[in-house]
């Protein structure tokens, strides 16, 4: 398969670095363009980037010059698609311009997520939503988003429960500092502290979860009907969002049935054996004190940060309680976006 030429917008940031890492030896895509802000443009990637994801940036990008995040500059290069890890306010117009110029855009930013024709795609959960791109007005180009980082973990905890009927969901998040970006949270604010506020996060979790778990009817998404009540806190953890989830289910259930539903959950990326798909999208931890960010998100394990870890599954009357853990910058961001592009490629949406 010929490799498609990819640009990474915002390649120097927390998510951009994960894109660079994941695409460094990718069978479908090669990185040919990296962009940043005026702070970085014109510098070689290795000098512009405060690299934090592994020991050193991969060799294929170290000497690439960081380009200005400007549509004309980007289009001067021969690119087949872009991955976007720009701040939302910057992403809005540039993603729009690139899609209008015929470029497929796979975005992490929230800028276009709430548009009716823009899928919030998680191919294990809502593969049919990819087809929404055919109703976009961009001609050859289009925009596909992935969800906000907390939502991307939560929907894995909820999708296998839909056969039991979900009445309502209460979720409390303990979110890592990397979720706020490289310079998002000051060390003096977070060390030894917990901040019970993350701007707009609770609304995003509720809306995005209902859309992702919604049905497609007459070419439009009808959001899932249950309430999602979210409370979000920032905690002094580097990577990994832990979430306490309480779900009221319509049907009788046992803890064993729920664990079986989690363990047996699998989707199209697994059936298609996509390069970034983990073999098991959900891993149920047996230990009573897991999952934990420092113990359960190592990139050395086979799932490469793409599996969602679930533990402490309990029943209290008609409510199911559990914790889940998602790597915010991988399954919650860059890994999710690369998986979306892989899925689009095998489905013939990008060629
Ligand atoms: N962090 C996460 O876990 C996570 C998860 C899901 C979604 N997201 C979303 O992904 C996006 C990126 O987040 P991040 O955490 O990677 O942020 P970040 O670490 O702050 O990185 C931001 C990137 O955007 C570039 N940038 C900033 N201002 C710019 C401007 N005015 N013009 C052009 N480029 C500009 C930066 O370039 P310079 O370094 O050159 O300044 C950097 O490459 C955001 O939309 C965020 O909401 C993040």
Tell how far the Cα of 145 is from the centroid of ligand 1, in angstroms.
15
pTM above 0.85, yes or no: yes
**Token digits for 78?**
């021969």
Q: Which of 36, 74, 82, 155 to mutate to test the pocket of ligand 1 (most atoms within 8 A of CB)?
A: 36
Q: 24 C-alpha vs ligand 1 centroid, how far in Å?
A: 19
Catalytic residues: 149, 241
Residue 194 φ then ψ, to 5°: -135, 135
pLDDT at site 301: 73
pLDDT value at position 159?
Answer: 98
User: Same CATH fold, 149-327 and 4-148+334-346?
Assistant: no
Q: Domain 4-148+334-346: which CATH class?
A: alpha beta
Other C-beta atoms within 10 Å of 153: how many? 27
Ligand 1 centroid – CA 87 distance (Å): 5
Q: Where are the domains of the chain?
A: 4-148+334-346, 149-327
Class of domain 149-327: alpha beta
Pick the residue whose CA is nearest to atom 20 on ligand 1. Answer: 181
Mean pLDDT per 10-residue section of the chain, whose length is 351 residues = 96 98 96 98 97 93 97 97 97 98 97 97 98 95 98 98 97 98 96 98 98 94 97 97 98 97 98 97 96 88 89 96 98 98 98 89
What pLDDT does 298 receive? 76
Contact between 242 and 311 (Cβ < 8 Å): no
Q: How many CB atoms lie within 10 A of CB 271?
A: 10
Q: Do residues 286 and 255 touch, judged by C-beta distance below 8 A?
A: no
Q: What is the reported pLDDT for 88?
A: 96
Residue nearest to atom 12 of ligand 1 (CA): 85
321 lines ligand 1 (CB under 6 A): no
pLDDT attached to residue 54 = 87
- Specify whether the CB–CB gap between 308 and 281 falls below 8 A: yes
As a whole number of angstroms, the distance between CA 84 and CA 9 comes to: 5
Strands 166-175 and 241-249: antiparallel
């Amino acid at each position: 398969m010929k490799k498609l030429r990819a640009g990474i917008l915002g390649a120097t940031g927390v998510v951009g670095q994960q894109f660079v890492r994941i695409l460094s030896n990718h069978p479908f895509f090669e990185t040919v363009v990296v962009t940043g802000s005026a702070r970085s443009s014109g510098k070689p990637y290795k000098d512009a980037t405060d690299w934090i994801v592994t020991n050193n940036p991969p060799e294929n990008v170290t000497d690439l010059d960081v380009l200005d995040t400007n549509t004309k500059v980007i289009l001067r290069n021969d690119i087949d698609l872009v991955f976007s890890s720009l701040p939302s306010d910057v992403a809005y117009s540039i993603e729009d311009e690139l899609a209008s110029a015929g470029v497929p855009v796979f975005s992490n930013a929230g800028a276009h997520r709430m548009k009716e024709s823009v899928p919030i795609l998680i191919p294990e959960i809502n593969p049919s939503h990819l087809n929404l791109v055919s109703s976009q007005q961009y001609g050859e180009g289009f925009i596909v988003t992935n969800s906000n980082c907390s939502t991307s973990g939560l929907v894995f905890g909820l999708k296998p429960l839909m056969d039991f009927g979900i009445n309502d969901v209460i979720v409390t998040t303990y979110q890592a500092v990397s979720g706020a970006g490289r310079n998002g949270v000051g060390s003096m604010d977070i060390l030894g502290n917990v901040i019970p506020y993350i701007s707009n996060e609770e609304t995003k979790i509720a809306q995005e979860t209902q859309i992702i778990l919604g049905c497609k009817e007459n070419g439009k998404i009808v959001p899932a009907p249950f309430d999602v009540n979210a409370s979000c806190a920032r905690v002094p953890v580097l990577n990994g969002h832990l979430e306490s989830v309480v779900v009221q289910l319509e049907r009788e259930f046992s803890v064993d049935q729920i664990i079986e539903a989690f363990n047996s959950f699998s989707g199209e990326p697994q059936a298609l054996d996509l390069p970034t798909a983990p073999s098991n999208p959900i891993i149920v931890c047996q230990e009573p004190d897991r999952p934990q960010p420092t113990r359960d998100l190592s990139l050395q394990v086979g799932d490469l940060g793409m599996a969602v870890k679930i533990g402490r599954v309990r029943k209290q009357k008609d409510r199911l309680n559990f914790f889940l853990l998602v790597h915010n910058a991988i399954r919650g961001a860059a890994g999710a976006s690369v998986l979306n592009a892989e899925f689009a490629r095998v489905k013939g949406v990008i060629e």
